Chains A and B, each alone.
Chain A
C-alpha cells in the first residue's frame, strides 16, 4: 500500500515538472516583465539592475531551477498588476473557489448518484423519463447561460437569492468562509448549482448506464436467486459494482469543477481564483497565471492519486493484480 502511494507520487513528479516548464516558459515568451515593471521612463542602469534583481541574466536552467525551488515553497513572486505576492493573492481567493467547488461537487455527486440509481432501477417510470429529458438540457446548455437564466429567475424575478458576490464572510484564521452566515449560504446556492449542473447530469447518466449494465449480470440474478432483498441487491451488490467507473469520472470532474470555475465565477462575480485568473489574463499578469497553472495541475494530480486509492478500496481484484505484479 505504502509502496503504491510512493510510486504514484513519483509518477506525478514528471507531470508537475512539465507543467512547471510550461508556466515558466510564459515568463520568457508572453510579454517582457522588465518592460512592464519599468513603465515608460527608465535608464539603462535601472533596467540592468532590475534584470539582475529578477535573475533574468542567469542561464535558462538556473532560472528554471530557481523557479521550481520557489514554486515548491509556494513562492511565485509579485503580481505585475497588483504588486503583491502571488501566494498571498491566491491564498485570499482560494477559500471562495474551494467552497464553491465543494458545494457544486456535493450537489453533483449526491443528486447525480441518487438520480442515476433511480433512473436505472425504474427506467420506465415517468419521473425517469422526465429526469432524462431534463438532463439532456443540462448537458447541452453552457454554464454561463444556465447562470444567467438562474440569475434572471431567482434574483431578478423572484428576488430570493443574490445575483453576485459571496455575501458576508467570516474569517477563520486565513480562511474566509461563507458557510457561517445566512447571506453567505444564500450567495452560494446559485453559483454552485450553475457549476455543478453539468457534472450532475453527467454523473447521473453514467450511473444509470452502469446500473443497467450491472443489473443484467449473472451475479445480480444469482443474488436474487439467493433470496436477497431489493435493498441488498440494488445497493449492496449493484451500486457498488458501478462505483469504479463513476469514481474515475467523478474525480476528473471534480478537478474540472475547480479548474473551470472561471466561467461561473465571472458570471456571478465570485471573488475566487477563477476570477483572479481571468483578470490576470487580461492584464498579462504572468506570475499569477503561472501560479494558477501549477496549482491546477497539482489539484488534478492529487485527485488522480485519491481516485487510484479509492479503486484500491472498492475493487479487490486490483489489489491482487498489484500483489501478483510485485511477485508476492
Chain B
C-alpha cells in the first residue's frame, strides 16, 4: 500500500543572527494508511518540529530547507499558503498539547466545530450543527445536544481535549498529527484519551503521528515508533521490537529508564549528560559524547539508518564495515 505520509530527508533550519541552526536534519519516515506512528525523544529532539513542518505551521523564522513531504503521493512542503490551508483540517488534522489553551474562549464548542466543518465541507448550518452534536457524542461528551452550546471554560481539561479531538477529526482527515495529546492531562484521564484516540483512528481508518515523550503511551498505542535525538531519527521500527529489543544505544538507554512493574530495581538506568544544543551538535553521531559504546568512527562520520533485525538504527555498531573497530564484546546480540 502506498504510504499516506512520506517524509523524505526533511531538513528544517532557523536562520538566526549567530548563524543558521539546523533543527531537523535528514528526517525520513513514512506512515501507512490507518497506521499509528509514535515519535519519542527528549524535549528539543525535534518531535514537535517535525509535526509542525508537516502541517505547514513552522514558527517563523523556521523554514523547510531541504527534503520533501508527500501526502498521498503529492508534495505539500512547497505549496502556496492558500492551498496548504485547504489541506490543514481537511486532509491533516492536528491535536495540540494543552486543551486549556487550544480552544478559543469566546466561542462555543459547537461554533468552533461548525466553523471548521463549513470551512472544508459543503454543509448547511443545520447539517453542520447536527454533525457537531454527533461528533461530541462520538468523542464521549455526555448530553452532547446541550453541551454543543457550552463555552470551553465550562468543560474540564479531559473533556476539552475530547472537543479538540473532535475538532481535529470533524472534516475527516486521513492523517492526524497529535502533539503530546495527553501530556497536560491527569494520569487517569490520559488513559481515557489514548483509548479514545485509538478507537477513533481504527473506526475512521485514520493514520496518526503521535508525538510524545511518554513511552507508556507509545507502547500502548503505536504500531511503529521513531526515536528522535538532536533533530535526527536514531531508530525506527515496530513498537514491540524497539521497546523489547532496542538497537540504538540511545533507545536502549531510553527504554532502560522506564521502571519495570514486574520486579523491583534498586536504581533506574539513566543516560549521563544532556542532549546537545542545536548550536553545538557534535560532528559524527550526535549521541557520541553520551554513548557507552562510542568508538572512533562515531566521532567523525555521521551514521545513516541501517537495517538491523526488525528495526533500523542510525548507529555504526550495525555497519559491517566498522566491525574491526567496534569492540566485539559490545556488539549487540
Contact = CB atoms under 8 A, between A and B. Distances in A.
Interface of A: 217-219, 221-229, 232, 236-237, 240-241, 314-317, 320
Contacts of B104: 219, 223, 237, 241
Given A232-B119, A316-B153, A320-B154, A225 B101 contact: no
B85 interface: yes
A229 B90 CA distance: 13
A219 B102 contact: yes
Instruction: Rank and list the top 10 A-B pairs by shortest CB-CB distance, nearest first.
Output: A227-B89, A225-B94, A227-B88, A218-B101, A226-B89, A222-B102, A219-B104, A316-B151, A226-B116, A218-B102
B233 interface: no
Contacts of B88: 224-227
A311 to B, nearest CB: 12
B87 A227 contact: yes
Contacts of A223: 104
Nearest to B111: A236
Mostly, the B contact residues are mixed
B153 A227 contact: no
Interface residues of B, number: 31
A219 B87 contact: no
Given A218-B96, A222-B164, A227 B119 contact: yes
Contacts, number: 79
Q: Which of B106, B120, B168 has the most CB of A within 10 A?
A: B106
Contact of B89 (A218, A225, A236, A315): A225
A237 B104 CA distance: 7
B103 interface: yes
Nearest to B87: A227
A320 B153 contact: yes
Contacts of B93: 225
B283 interface: no
A227 B103 contact: no
A218 B104 CA distance: 9
Nearest to B82: A229
A225 B105 contact: no
Interface in B147-198: 151, 153-154, 164, 167-168, 171
A284 B107 CA distance: 55
A141 to B, nearest CB: 35
Contacts of A224: 57, 85, 88
B98 A317 contact: no
Contact of B101 (A219, A227, A236, A320): A219
A315 B106 CA distance: 6
Contacts of B202: none
Contacts of A222: 94, 96, 102-103, 164, 167
A223 B167 CA distance: 10
B55 interface: yes
Given A314-B106, A316-B106, A317-B151, A226 B98 contact: no
Given A227-B85, A227-B90, 10 more contacts: A218-B101, A222-B94, A223-B104, A225-B55, A225-B168, A226-B119, A229-B85, A314-B106, A316-B105, A316-B153
B115 interface: yes
Q: For B85, B104, B171, which residue has the most chain A Cβ atoms within 10 angstroms?
A: B104
A169 B119 CA distance: 51
A229 B118 CA distance: 12
B86 interface: yes
B86 A227 contact: yes
Given A316-B151, A317-B105, A218 B98 contact: yes
Contacts of A320: 151, 153-154
Contacts of A237: 104, 107
Contacts of B102: 218-219, 221-222
